[in-house]
Chain A
């Protein structure tokens, strides 16, 4: 049973033989622990994590622009409900995650109030009720199968236990999210900057908002399955916030956010693989910790350089 943080179970430890080539430079060996490129769980993690990060980065730009970080976070938590339900029904968690996400997004938009304050409240209420139900499902999960690990798997996710069979599913959820953003790029941007102007130009603001929220739901449920429900917020908000601080146009920000998200995910995977030899447990540090730490440090750095530039200019 996968456990929290121990995302690095050791399926590839058998293949831990050094690629014998002495030609492999010692620098490379320092960066990538032996066996990194030969390990198939790592390949899957890089692929699945990369797709999830890409989608989160792109969708995240609009999340941050529209001030919907909280909705994104709540949707990620709510997909926990779906995840625990799918454990009960023993279907693929991704279906549970994404299905609940889309339903919750619709409810939030339905009771949503226009001003951010009311919206936060509505988001919070839906989230609280959803998590209550999740608690019940998890309780049934754990009493019916006595696997307490289910709770932790659902909450923290485990990138290294996602099988390669998940890749088509991940694409099936990721592509619609990207498509929504691509198709609605201009109206979304317009209604994010000023809802009134957008409405005057004939944009259907509520419908656009709902579509955006569904894209967010798809993105976070995707990330929830790979890096964990709780930490998917990091991929959604972090890279986008950094990118918006560093660039001046929304288009550039979207691309930069995607690049930062993918880069931090991949570096996180590399570090997590390396951390096998680290104290205290020699069991690997959680990959989610590395990803979040990278993003957080990146955000602090971006804030600082932004301030310096302002002072300098």
Chain B
């Protein structure tokens, strides 16, 4: 399990989990589960487009994730947010279906993009993820206070001179960045389990923001480690363990919180 060819997998997955834990905290806080769900799936369409044109998959992912996020931000000023998100998502997926119909060889690559492929990570792939991931986490930490204020009390943050619209945009860009980094590892359909399961559990365990974020990172990393180990032992897809692990985190968090309130 800790053979040399597995080292990259462990390193990559841990980085991804840290990013997901940090960004996911705000996803849960802002009630943006649908957005965090839609952006990765839309970005998946970008990856298929990139493979069609023969350009870097990470670039395709990034471009589509960004376009999707900004599209959602733009359209939800005009329509209900859930409707805007749903429609942007399906449009990107429609494009993905179109790109797929133009390419010939895709099945295994598509499967890995949808459900994750952690075991085949090469050393050259790690460096860009480390750099961009650091940017992502740093951005969240630098903007921690305004992000927190606009999430919890939009009215008073507007009074304090923080633009809610601008912070929403910043948040969407951060989600897009986090998405394109984590997608190739855990897959388009399951990033989002990692982004909401552990943070939701952390939130139900502690009310203090920084502690919750830390806990969310710890839980995310644990989930991923368990998932890789289990996947290595059983040969089943990592995505299965991540998806179920996210739900288990959430259920355990809710249970503990419920036990604590019922004891008092």
Contacts and interface: CB of A to CB of B under 8 A. Distances in A.
A, B assembled together:
yes
Contact of B37 (A127, A148, A156, A303): A127
Contacts of A120: 31, 33-34
Contacts of A64: 80, 83
A5 B190 contact: no
Interface of B: 28, 31, 33-34, 36-37, 41, 75, 78-80, 82-83, 85-87, 89-91, 93-95, 97-98, 100-102, 106-108, 110-111, 114-115, 187, 189-190, 192-193, 196-197, 200, 236-237, 239-244, 246-247, 250
| Most chain B Cβ neighbours within 10 Å, of A5, A6, A129, A135 | A135
A25 interface: no
A114 B34 CA distance: 17
A125 B196 contact: yes
Q: Size range of the interface on A?
A: 35 or more
A79 interface: no
Interface string A282-300: 0111101101110110010
A20 interface: no
5 contacts: A6-B101, A132-B247, A135-B240, A234-B87, A291-B94
Interface stretch (A65-73, A95-103, A255-263): A65-73
Contacts, number: 194
Interface string A117-129: 1001101111111
A288 B83 contact: no
Interface of A: 3-6, 64, 67-70, 72-74, 77, 116-117, 120-121, 123-136, 138-139, 142, 148-149, 151-152, 155-156, 228, 230-231, 233-234, 237-238, 241, 245, 280-281, 283-286, 288-289, 291-293, 295-296, 299, 303, 307
Contact of A116 (B31, B90, B196): B31
B107 A131 contact: no
Contacts of A149: 107
Give the interface SS of chain A, mostly helix, strand, loop or mixed: helix
Pick from A72, A233, A283, A295 the residue with the most CB of B within 10 Å.
A233
Contacts of A238: 86-87, 90
A148 B243 contact: no
Contact of B93 (A148, A230, A284, A295): A230
Nearest to B246: A128
A152 B95 CA distance: 15
List the 9 shortest-distance A-B pairs measured between CB atoms, nearest first.
Answer: A132-B243, A5-B101, A128-B193, A292-B94, A117-B31, A148-B107, A129-B247, A234-B90, A135-B239
Given A69-B83, A241-B87, A303 B78 contact: yes
A231 B90 contact: yes
B101 A286 contact: yes
Main secondary structure of the interface of B (DSSP, over half): helix
Contacts of B80: 64, 67, 69, 241
Nearest to A8: B101
A54 to B, nearest CB: 18
Contacts of B189: 77, 131, 134-135
A152 B34 contact: no
B108 to A, nearest CB: 6
Given A73-B86, A120-B34, A233-B86, A131 B100 contact: no
Contacts of A152: 100, 107, 110
Given A4-B101, A73-B34, A148-B107, 14 more contacts: A6-B101, A69-B85, A70-B37, A117-B31, A120-B31, A129-B193, A134-B189, A135-B189, A139-B237, A148-B108, A238-B87, A286-B94, A286-B101, A288-B97
B186 to A, nearest CB: 10
Nearest to A136: B240
Nearest to A287: B97
B83 A142 contact: no
B76 to A, nearest CB: 11
